Every structure is written in C-alpha cells, then in structure tokens.
Structure 1
Amino acid sequence: MEQKNQAPITAGIYSKVKPDKKILSDTAFGYYISKDIGRNDAGQTVVVKNNTIMAVEAFEGRLDTISRGCHFANGKAVIVISGKHSKSDESINPLIDLSLLRYALECGSKAVALEAERVTVSNLKECINYAVKSGLVFFAFNGTEILRYMKKSS
C-alpha cells in the first residue's frame, strides 16, 4: 500500500546549495555506470568521487553501499540513485527518505542525486528542509539530460 507522502520525484534542485559542474559531472558518470551495469540487474546506487566509482550497490544494499563508498571517497562523495533497469521491474521505483539523506551526510556525502520520475521520495518536504538546513546538495535529474555533463576522455 502506497503512503500519501510518497511520489516519484520530478527533476529539480531541492536544496539551498546548487550542484556545481563537478557534482553534475560525477552524477552523469554515476548514472552512466549505473545504467550500464543495470543491464545485469545490479543495484541502483552508485557512489562517485572525481569521476571514479567508489562503490556500486549489489547484494549488501543501499546503506552499506553508501557507507563503503563514502569511506573510500574520504568525504565529498556524490551518491547517485537511479531507477530499475530491467523491463520486468519498471514499475518498482527505489524509495528514499529523510533517514537516507541523514545517513549520506553522516557518511561524508556532499550530494545525493536521484533519477527524476524513477525514484520515489517519502516525505519530500522533510527531505527538502533537511537538505536546506544541513547544506547537503539534493537534486533530481533527467537521465538523458544529465549525460551532457559527462567528461570527455582525452
């Protein structure tokens, strides 16, 4: 049963601090990797720092992935959460809430980026208030549009 305060998030910035080019680049890279590995139905959470993958969600789950990735990133990690990849699971959106944002910040994340329309947020107002007060960058991106921030290989 779906709660009243849950809905897929729409594209936009939900914090006072806006994502800079570095965060957008890390988000694009994390999204690209997540979609690539998603063909094998791996997890939907990727932790990135400086266009390097710090952790990819697998069997351990989202929170352990965040903890591990932020540990390897030594702070300033970008957490990217995308929607399900396989056709059979398209109607099942990942669910995030205030506790995930708190945990992300405690672990050393500087940003949480969600794929718009493919990730569901519980109590969005609480999440926005937390992001504004804490300084966490919190936003939702359009999957195809974020890829324009991918760094070109030399």
Structure 2
Amino acid sequence: MSTPDSLFLIAGSGKYPGLVIAEARAAGVGRISLAAFEGETEQSTIAAADEVRMLRVGQLGKMLDAAKKSGASHAMMAGQLAPKNLFDLRPDLQALILLAKLKRRNAETLFGEVANQLAKIGIQLLPALTFLDNHIAPKGHIAGPALKKRHVEDVEYGYEIAKESSRLDIGQTVVVRNGTVLAVEAFEGTNECIKRGGALGRDGSTMVKVSKPGQDMRFDVPVVGELTIETAKAAKIKIIGVEAGRTLLLDRPRVSAAAESAGITIYGIS
C-alpha cells in the first residue's frame, strides 16, 4: 500500500494513538484528522492532530460525518475505550440502527460494522499495526535475562492455553508457573489477570498474551506497554510471552528498556 496523503484516526485511550500519529507522519502522511472521545483520548494525542472532532461513545453518526468531511480515504482505530463506557453507551440514531442489525454485540461485531459503515462512504479501515513495523514483537528473545529451557516450556504451555482461551472468546492472557495455570483473563482485563496470577505464583510466574484465532487486526491487536511491565513487576512476574508478528510493543525501545530495568524477560513465540 502506498502511503496515504491523509488519515482519519479513531483514537481511544492510552499512548497507542499518539504512537500511530508519530509513525504515520514519519511514513509521510501529511494530514491527520482525529475522532477523539470525551474522558478517553489523551490531551497529548489531541494536540498532535491537525483536526479534531470531540465525540461521546455511541455518536456513530457524528463520527461518520467527521470521517467524510476529513477528506481522508483511509482510517485507523487505535487505543481502548473503557468497558464501563461501552456499557454506558448512549447511542445516536445511526448507532441504534447499527445495533439493531447485530445478533451478538461485542467489540468484534461492533467495530466490524463500523468498518462496514466507513467503507460505504469510501474510507478503508487499515490494520491497526499499519506504520508500526518497528514496534511489532519479533520471534525469540526481545529483552531481559535469557531464558532457561523450563521457562521456555512455560511460555509454550501458556501460549497453548491462551490460544484456546481466546478461541472461546474468554480472554487473551494467561499466567502460568511450572506447567500450572494460575490465572486466565476474562472481562477484568490483562492487568487484573496479571495481579491475580502473580499473587498465586508469588515470585517467578510467566504471563503470555496472544491474539484470537481469526482476530480482525484492523481494530483489535494484543498490546504490551510500559504499564504492563510495571504491573508485572509489582506482581513479581518474571517472563512475558507475546505472540510474535501480531503483538504491539507500545513504543518498543521504551518497553524493552522498562523490561531490562525490571529484570523481566520479553519473549516472542509463534
């Protein structure tokens, strides 16, 4: 794909949208228009865009109108929306029409239909890892102390369990130690799973994060950032296994440095 002249970015919370803006500009994208959400999108992200439309979660009509007026032919989604805000959704008319069509209402179906609505107005939703090649986890050792064979076995076992858990749409992160599953992520999210697993494993557990089978990489990618490292350190997790080629290290140099400082190994597996 040639680099688009402009980009419409649907920006949730965290550092992810800001990283997309920086890397998109480095790749030659000239103009970036932003759909930002009240109480979610960081001010630094808002300040980095050329044009901003502030929205509430659920204002699909206004978002599509902003996308069309931006003149962009390509869009991306980056960052999260807090689960509580999805449940506090106050949909506008267009969102209500969309919701009425869906038999199952989860992030995959909701965002998939948003992608369809963007396509109807001539805007292609790009994979969420576009422009971010330098921040995608490679296979093998990435940062931190080298692993012993038994630790690699725990990463491999955690990978198998996490793949099965994610296939069932339960969660994409597990914590294991010595071949025993200590915690499986559910609705509470990755960091809470890390805390539960670390408390049970005490010192030296392994967490593994993967993508779902058939995961739509346009709007849903596994992410490991500095906060993940901080949470793992506090929980005395010693190894973070990630799916190579499909996991975003949210600013890889900073994540790697944080892992080295914490004595935590990051290891890519596929």
> Which structure 1 residue ranges, 5 or more long, are not aligned?
144-154
Residue 78 of structure 2 aligns with which residue?
none
Aligned-pair RMSD on alpha carbons?
1.7
Q: Which runs of 4+ in 1 moved over 6 A?
A: none
Q: How many residue pairs end up in the alignment?
A: 141
> What is the TM-score of this pair, normalised by structure 2?
0.49
Distance 1:35 1:46 in 2: 10
Aligned CA distance change for structure 1 residues 132 and 89 (closer, same or farther; 3 Å):
same
1:140 aligns with 2:268: yes
Greater RCO structure (CA 8 Å; 6+ sep): 1
| 1:121 equivalenced with 2:232 (yes/no) | no
Aligned-residue sequence identity (percent) comes to 27
Structure 2: gaps of 5 or more residues: 1-8, 10-16, 24-131
Deviations, residues 43-66 of structure 1 (Å, cap 9, x unaligned): 110000011000000111101000
Alignment of 1:5-154 (within 5 A): 6=132, 7-85=135-213, 87=214, 89-91=216-218, 92-141=220-269, 143=270
Residue 15 of structure 1 deviates from its aligned partner by 2.0
TM-score by length of 1: 0.83
Larger Rg: 2
CA distance in 2, matches of 1:28, 1:51: 10
For residues 20 and 54 of structure 1, the distance between their equivalents in structure 2, rounded to whole angstroms, comes to 20
* 1:113-154 residue CA offsets vs partner (Å, 9 max, x unmatched): 11101111111101111222221111212x2xxxxxxxxxxx
Q: Counterpart amino acid of 1:126? A: R
Partner Cα distance (1:57, 1:138) in 2: 19
